[in-house]
Amino acid sequence: MPLDDELTAWLELSLTAGLGGEGLRRLLHAFGGPRQVRAASREQLSRYVDGAVAAAIRRGGDHESLRAAGAWLEEPSHRVVTLADAEYPRSLLQIPDPPPLLYVHGRVELLSRPSLAIVGSRNASAQGAANAAAFARTISDAGVTIVSGLALGIDAAAHRGALEGASGSVAVLGTGADIVYPSSNRALAHDLAARGALVSELPLGARPLPSHFPRRNRLISGLSLGCLVVEAAAESGSLITARIAAEQGREVFAVPGSIHSPLAKGCHALIKQGAKLVESARDVLEELQIPAPASAAPLPEAADDLRAILDALGHDPCDLDTLAGRCGLSAAATAALLTRLELAGQVAALPGGFYQRLAR
């Protein structure tokens, strides 16, 4: 993507210290475009922004940052999309503070397709991660792009599930588009850049500061028709995304969990506050009035001799000895059956010798 005069003006203004998105939008409304803003006198600019900011605009942008942006844009898969571009997502124009520009690595067209945010705990349970992936896969196959934040746990599981579906996934970053955070998700970020998109409103090189993530969350929900929370503790940051989604007029969905699980408390609180309780991807799609895919790949069926184990396991974590007692089997026989169920994708082994049934 070439760095022409128009885009240079956009980048210079976005990099001006103290200006911010609100101030830049105010100047654009007053002067008509970024080059006109850059050409305005300090006196003219001072009618709309602080004098120090006006002086900074007149001095021009950070040349080192501009050179870095120019080098980044030399890659064919890198784009900067501004408010003036046809590719700027219309959904973000509906939120109170749309970012003036977005750095995009990957498929920019995904930003304008129907999307659903899936968020949740970084310390997800095996069941929660499986649920997130299964929801994301089915909803992606229904033609809906999955948006999340590239965090560990539920976010990562949702991205992976969506990439297995038909409609891809978008990760909204709390860093510059040239930084992967957390670094353990580097391989996932590579897959998203190749088959989905990485998006940030922050300048290149921006580090993962705490203040960046609430702003990132408003874009996760803003890009989406609704927000699905899969697992969340009582004080989870995912609840911030859900609250912002509600304020933006988006639908909010929550997956219920065990009354004994601390990771279900946030979802239960959302449901009490009016979020829609959902038990399957079809529940979400019906609420959004989107047809479900013709066929969703089910998890492998257990043989008849394994059904008793699944029934006895229920939907809460259970240790081997307790499960063996419920089934009237030896611990060795129960362990063998659990191994077969793990291989079939119907049971997950948890830390501490516990097992949990996975969503079907």
| Tens digit of pLDDT at every position of the chain (360 positions) | 667 899 999 999 999 989 999 999 999 999 999 999 999 999 999 999 999 999 999 988 778 889 999 999 999 999 999 999 999 999 999 999 999 999 999 999 999 999 999 999 999 998 899 999 999 999 999 999 999 999 999 999 999 999 999 999 999 999 999 999 999 999 999 999 999 999 999 999 999 999 999 999 999 999 999 999 999 999 888 999 999 999 999 999 999 988 888 999 999 999 999 999 999 999 999 999 998 886 544 433 435 568 888 888 888 888 888 998 888 887 777 877 887 787 677 888 887 778 888 865
184, 225: one domain: yes
- Going across the sheet that includes 347-350, the strands are 318-319, 354-357, 347-350
User: Measured between alpha carbons, how far is 34 from 6 in angstroms, rounded to an integer?
Assistant: 7
Residue 352 is assigned to a structural domain of this protein: yes
On whether both 326 and 254 belong to a single domain, the answer is: no
Phi, psi torsion values for 144, nearest 5 degrees: -115, 125
Does any domain span residue 205?
yes
Same domain, 348 and 256: no
- Say if residue 58 is in the same domain as residue 204: no
Query: Which residues are paired to 192 by β-bridges?
Result: none
**Structure tokens that stand for 265 in this block:** 């408390």
pLDDT of 68 reads 92
Inside any domain, residue 310: yes
Q: What is the CATH number of the domain that holds 29?
A: 1.10.150
Determine, yes or no, domain membership for 36: yes
In a domain, 98, yes or no: no
**211 and 272 in a common domain:** yes
153: left (phi over 0), alpha (psi -120 to 50) or beta: left
255 and 141 assigned to the same domain: yes
Q: Which domain covers residue 336, as residue numbers?
A: 304-357
* Amino acid identity, position 231: E
**Do 153 and 250 sit in the same domain of this protein?**
yes
Number of domains observed in the structure of the chain: 3
- Written as six digits, the tokens of 92 are 């973000």
Query: Do the domain assignments include residue 72?
Result: no
Assign residue 206 the CATH number of its domain.
3.40.50.450
Cβ atoms of 121 and 229 within 8 Å: the answer is no
Express each pLDDT in 138-185 by its tens digit. 999 999 999 999 999 999 999 999 999 999 999 999 999 999 999 999
Query: In this structure, what CATH number is given to the domain that contains residue 339?
Result: 1.10.10.10
DSSP H or E segment with residue 337: helix 331-343
- Co-location of 270 and 141 in the same domain: yes
- pLDDT of 298 reads 43
Largest Cα span, the chain: 85
**Does 228 fall in a domain?**
yes
Q: Mark whether 144 and 49 lie in a shared domain.
A: no
Q: What is the CA radius of gyration of the chain?
A: 24
